[in-house]
Structures are given as C-alpha cells and as structure tokens.
A and B are shown apart, each in its own frame.
Chain A
Amino acid sequence: MGKIEKIGNLLLWGLQGFLIFLLIFQSSFALPMAGIGHLHPLILHLPIGFGVLLVALFAIKKQLASFEVLAEFLLLITAIFSTLTAIFGLFLAKEGGYETSALDWHQWSGVAVSFVYFSWVLLRKNLFLGATLGFITLVIAGHTGASITHGEDYLRFGEKATEITSESVVFEDIVQPILKAKCESCHNDQKSKGALKMNSIANLMKGGKHGAIWKAGDALNSHLVQRIKLPMNTKEHMPPLGKAQLTPDEITILTLWVKEGASFEKKLGQFSPAFQKLVQPTELTISTKSYDFSAASESTIESVNSPYCTVYPIANESPALQADFYVAAKFDPKTLSNLSQVSEQLVGLQLSKMPIKNEDLNLVSKFTHLEKLNLNFTAIDDAGIGQLAGLNHLVQLSLAGTKVGKSGVAKLLAKLPALKEIHVWSTRLSAGDLSALGKQFPKVTFDAGYIPKEETLQINPPILVNENLILKPGEKLMFKHTLRDVLFRYTLNDSLPDSLQSPSTKGSIAIANYAKVRILATKDGWRASKPIDVRVYKSQFIPSRIDLLSKPDPKYPAAGGASLMDFVIGAREVKGVPNFTWLGFKEADLDVVATFEKSTSIHGVTLSYLEKTDSDVFPPVKVEVWGGETPGQMRLITTAKPIQPKEKSGYSARGINIPIAGIHAKYYRIKAERLKRLPTFVDNKGKGAWLRVDELLFY
C-alpha cells in the first residue's frame, strides 16, 4: 500500500467515525456551521461519477495492466466522497423546510452508499459485487434526493406536450405547468417554504402562512402576482434569486389568469383575446411570392432606368420589377416605351401626375403581369381605359383625378378578374354610380376618397408679396394666397374690413399715399380669414435731391438728406449696432429742402417718423411745407399737426400725409418741429423729445 492510499484510508476512517457520531447525536444538539450544508449539492455529483466509473472499469478489465490497483484506488476515493456527501447532507437537512418522510429515505439511502463503499474498502474482495451494490444504492439515494428538490414526479418522461387549442383547460395545460416548473420545487409535499404547497388545486386554494395567495379577478392585490413582480433584488421576490426565474410571458400569463378570474375549469376560448394571443403567439412568416417568369438582365434594367424613371426589383433575387415615374415636367414618352423591354417582369407601375394620355395605355396593356397600377391625375378617360382589359393579375388600380365615368369603369372591371381595389375619387363617377358599381362588383373595394364634413373652416390670411413697403411710382401693393379663387377685402381707413362689403381685389391694390391697409381673405365655402395690417408708403414723384438745412444729432446722422429718399424702411435698433436708417434730432428741428429737376405739381407730402414714447421718441408737433420756384422765393403752403400719443407706447413706425392743392414748385422745404417738453406719462417728463424721421415722400 502506497503512501497516498495510507493517508486516504486514515481520512476515510476519520470521516466514517464523524458520520456515525453525527447520526447518533444529530437530534440532541444544534449544529454549528450550518452553512456548510450548502456544499452537499456541490459535491454529491462526485461519488455518483466515481461510482459509475468504477462499474464501467470492469468492461475494460482485460485491457488494463494493473486493474486491481486502479479499481481499489477508485473505490477508496468513491468511499471518501460518498462519506463527505453524507456528512454535508446531514448539515443541510438540519436547515429544515423538508418533508420528513422523504428526507428520511434520502438520508438513510445516502448513508447506505457510504457504508457500502466503506465496507468494500475494508473487505478488498469481490470488488465487482461491491461496485454493483454501491451503484444501486447510489441510484436510490440520487432519486430520493432529486425528488425533494425537483418534485416527486420529475422523472415522469414522455409527458404529452399538450397542444394548446381553444378547448384547452387553461389551468391544467398552461398555468399548472408553469407552477410545476418554477414554483413546485420549493412548494411541494416534501418541501413547503412559507407553509405553502403549490402542487395541487386544494393546496393552492389553501394558501400559505400569509393566507390565500390570490384574489380572483384582482391581480394587483394578489400575493402571488405581487411577489413575482417584485424587483429581483428584494428578499420577497419569487422565485428566489438563483432559482429558475419566470419569463416575462409567464409572469403575464399568471397575472392575466388571476385577473380573468383564476378559474380551474375555464377553457382558453373563454379567456380574453389578449390572453389567447399570448399563449398562441403568431409566428413570423415572410411570404415570398414566386413568379414563373425569368428575371431581366442587369444591363436591361440599367438601360430602362433614367433620372426620372426608377426601375428596380421588388426584392433581392426576385424577377419582379417595379417602375416609378417622377417629375412631370421631365416626362419623356420614350422612357415609357423603353419599358417594353421588361414588359414581362413589371408588376408595379406608378404614373400618377404624369402627362399620360389614352393612347399611352396601349403600351401599358402589354405589361401583362401588372399587379398595381397608379394612373391618378393623368389625362385618361373612358375611351382609353378599355385597353387595360386583360391585365389578369391587376389587384389595385388607381384612377383618382381622371375623367373616367361609370360606363368605362364598368366595362373595364368586368375584364379584370383579380382586381380588389380601385380608387376613383375626383372622377366623373357620382355617388349613385358608385353604389351601382359596388353592387355589380361586390369583390372590389371602391375608394371614393375623403368626403369633407359639413363644416366651414376659416381660411388663412393673405400673404404679402411686396418686399419693400415704400412703393415707387407705378408700383402696387400685392397680396397672394396659397388657395386659388380667393378674393381679398380691405380698408384703408383703419376700420375692420367687412368680408362682404369692403372693397375687394384679387391681389393688387393701388395706393395713393401712406396708408394702413387692413385686409382679409375670403373664399366661397370658407369663413373669412383673420385680417392682417400693413403700413405702406407711396412715392409718386421723386426729387433729384434732398438737402438738410439743420444738423441731425451725431448719434443718428444716417446719410444726411439722401437717407430721406433712399427707399429703405427704418429698422429697429439692436443694442450696440449703429443704426443708419433713422435720421434723429434732439437739439435742433428738422429742416430740409427737396429739389426737383423741374417745377412739379404734387398732391401732398408724406413724412414717415418713429413713435416710441418709452424711449422719448415722439412725433413732430408741427410740420410746415414751403414751396417755390427758387430757393429764395419759397412761401409757406400748409401746416400739419400729427396726433400726439396720450400714453406710453412701444415701437411704432408710421407716416403723416400732408395734402397740398394746386401748387407748382421746383423747391419744397419741410420743417418739422420736435416736442420740447415731454409729457408727464414718460420718465423724463419736461425734457426735450427725440424726433426721428425715415422717408420724405411726394405724392
């Protein structure tokens, strides 16, 4: 006997002694190191493996030179590990939660395994008998152990994989198998954690130490549902961490089963569609339609493609082709006739909005495999569509926005055996025609399009076209609208326009002088739009130059007199950015002379100014217009007083028209007097106001 064997024998004797000691005194004192029992499931597979190997060794006995040595050594190891397993098992049993009778069986069969191997280590005779006997006790101990952890009938093979139908009893065929697989290993007759057994209807109804585990119909308040839905890391989560977990679908099945009454008898067909779909999920299928024609060559497909006609296979390795035409302005009939090269392969053709005429349909009719044809908004009618007869595969035909009528459609449909869907809105078909056709062709769906409800919607406001609101001589104020046949109504006197009475225009308004235009859009069948306001300035006569006689404030010099006739509208100020669109006066009044090339008769003068009282910018208090044929001979023609604001206000650019009658002059001098004492409603009351002017226009 070698050294190793000696040590092994000693160890075995020691372990056996300890095991017998444990067996005798196990009930009389509590075991320390309770956790060591958890090594039992880890180690128990070793003696099983060794025991099997020991038996198997006899099969190749003759081929082995030193069979005896090998077999005896293996026997020793098996004995050691079976004894260790039995010891750990006793520790584990001490932790409790196991049904006693099952545990007893397992305990004694396990101990028997270790005794059998130990005895033969001592005997050293009749090895084959020992190995076989050991193996048999191993099988018994293994099975009794597995019955505790996996449930008593875990070994029942060939259980019919029940096919789920709507006749299946849900509890029996769907719910119970889940409980069996995921819950019963800890909740059975042998092992009932939390005093709960889940292995029969009666036990389930009885519940555990917290009472009933569900409230039929109320999943949220059911103990079972609450516990399985708790987060994984909470102690109460079921099944416990480390055990096989319920899948999301299984959780849902249990939840819905409780929610839908927790019945033991109800059949699947009586459950909600949601539940039925869950247990009978739809399979993902990719239906591939096969075609009996062969594919066109790549070069052919390339040759029928153009920037405005895309021809492509409907899927990888499919011979079927789709052709789409785009950009009506670039439609080329040759591109369409080119498609005859792939007439066999075309299954889809999109020609909507293309300039297609009746005679082009002759070509289309040659594409005999067409399934989907879009001819929306093309110039075809009853005289042409007859040619499409014979498209025996056509399923969907779109003819919206064409001039087809009842007789043409009826004749065609009789010859399109596969047709399922036709789009015919905005055609000559009346509602009556449609219902007659519907009766004649019950298999075809007629899409009559959207039929607007009886409601009157408000149209959107006019859109201003002019980019510059200082109109030059001959220029008009222009409005447009995104809808056709819109009539605009407007006022120039600051009153709200009336959608029926006020002056109307289709877009252009002749403007005589500065005006605030209020305008709205109207259209039959719509409510009038909200009005929009536009302040527009008008120049009828342009002087050759304007010269300043007084000095503007250095902060707002603009470009001197020229900026009064630059046709650039005053811009709002941005802090830190110099503004050259406004000519500003603080210490002096405005005094300018406009010089015309020759003596000009005008109807008035418009001075545009800024009103922004919160920044001390006020209208001029008085504007004088002087005129004369020479600079020295001017006389006062008229005086105007702009309306002064009565309260604090923000930015408002506006103008004042000053009419003049029957005057000829080459020189016009305009003096605008600034407000000297700010009114009490502004912060700087009593100080002088700013005067800011933008344009000086003559009409």
Chain B
Amino acid sequence: MPTKNMLQAINNALDIAMGEDDKVLCFGEDVGSFGGVFRATSHLQEKYGRARCFNTPLVEQGIIGFANGLAAQGSVPVAEIQFADYIFPAFDQIVNETAKFRYRSGDLFNVGGLTIRAPYGGGIAGGLYHSQSPEAYFTHTPGLKVVIPRDPYQAKGLLLAAIRDPDPVIFFEPKRLYRASVGEVPEEDYQLPLGEAEVTKEGTDVTLVGWGAQMEVIDRAVELAEKDGISCEVIDLRSLLPWDQDSVAESVFKTGRLVVTHEAPRTGGFAGEIAAVVQERCFLYLESPIARVTGMDTPFPLTLEKEYLADHLKIVEAIRATVNF
C-alpha cells in the first residue's frame, strides 16, 4: 500500500471527490493554481479547470456565504478557510446560516453538500493567530457536524465521508501533522463513518479520549504509563458533533477512569461536555474523578508555547493521578 502524508491524503480525497462528481468544487484563498498555502489543493485546478477549483478574494464571510448559496443550489462546495484562526469573519454564515438552513425552511432548502476545511492547532510557533483550536465554538451549534482526523488514512476516509454526507461538515485538519504524519493510504475510494469513535488501543485501567493531533500526544503518554504497569484504553473521537457517547461510556464501564485531553482552553472546552455525559451515564462505575488535560484559559502563547500545551508529560501525570486516586 502506498504511503502518504496527511496533505497528500487530503489532496487525494479531493481529487477522488472531484473526479467522481462534477458538482464538487474546491475554492478559497490561494487555493487555485498555487494549490493552497499548504498545498492541499495542488493540481486540482490543472485537472478540473478554473471553474471548479479557484482562488477567492480575501473574504472569509464571502467564501462561506458563497458556499452556502452553492450548496443550496445543489452543488457540493468544499470551501477552504486558510487557518481555523481566520474562520471568525464567517462565523455568522456558519452559525446562523449553514447550521440552520434545513431547519428554518422545513427542509425546503438545505446546504448539506457543504464541507468547510480548515487547518487548526498549535505546536508550530504560530502564536495567537496560527494555533487555535476553535472546535468548541462549533460543537455548540446544532445543525453542524464537526470532524477532526488524526492521520493520513483517517483524513482521506473521513473527508470523503464529509463531502458526501447529507449535512454540512466542518473538517478541522491538524496542521502540525500535515507533513509529519505519514502512513499507508489505499489509492482507492473509501469512507470512514462520521459520528463513530475508534478504539485505537484496548486496555483495562483507564480510558483516554482525544482527537486530531492530540492522539499522537496521547500515544506518547500511554507509552510512559504502560511502563508503570498501567493498562490504557485509547479512543479517538474523530467526530465531535455528533459524538459517539456509546463507545466512550462502554469503555468507562470497563476501566472506571477517564482522562480527556484537547489543545483548546479548558473552560467551555469539549472535554467538559464529555465529562458531563460520562458522569451521567457511568456514575456508579467511576473509580476517580474524570480528568481534563487541556490548554490554559488564555490566548495561545508563543515563547511559552511548550509550557502551555497539553503535552504527554501532563497527560501521563493525569493518568497516574487518576489511577492512584
């Protein structure tokens, strides 16, 4: 099986989607002949023409408003926002329009064809405005789906599923792993299910839940914990909205302990939602408080990024504290 990095896998998924369906369009800032600032859309304009893969003017609210209209018309837009940090001018279009299009019209109209791609996350010396993980703003918005892949195989399968899904999807791509994450990716078309978590490692003492770039960090922490003789079960949520409550609850029934981790700040972060649901569903099975390992409640720093990040050492300490409670 050929190996690809995450960018190549995403590019491959877009190529398959555009090749299969003339209605699929890719656009955004610098997306056209240049192929995007990260090159996720390389060669798509060459292959499918300027009408289907193109640069937009520099206006995020315009990109998503335009994409909403296209999707309502029956096209299948895959709109790129260059950095998740720059998605906010489009917040109104996403929260008030994309998410509510079907509901408010009684299903007369919908924008289900829409997929919004945006690189997110830190660890790249990007400071305040090239590092954010804004997923929780969107998980608080019924009508959207929120999907985050952890590696190239997942990225291709989940992106193809997102493009073909009957509902609008925000697809956050962990940019720290764009070139760093390399793995086997089948050439052929395949999809991975939205709304389903994956148990990436089975264990008995503690459950770890994360998504996106945090999965690699969890793996490093688990390696350390297992040296202490702690058996860890690891779950990649993959979809945050809707999220797979059953898989997480089932795991916690078994382990009795849960550590949730994300890069985003703690307060109002998605770990809080997971903790709330797990205590509702697993209260009598819990052996210790549910732990959160997250970013701090500050804007994303630069010089002190290493200190700020929810890294493997902070996670392994949380695992130990949870197990030794």
Q: Do A and B come from one complex?
A: no
Interface residues of A (CB under 8 A from B): none
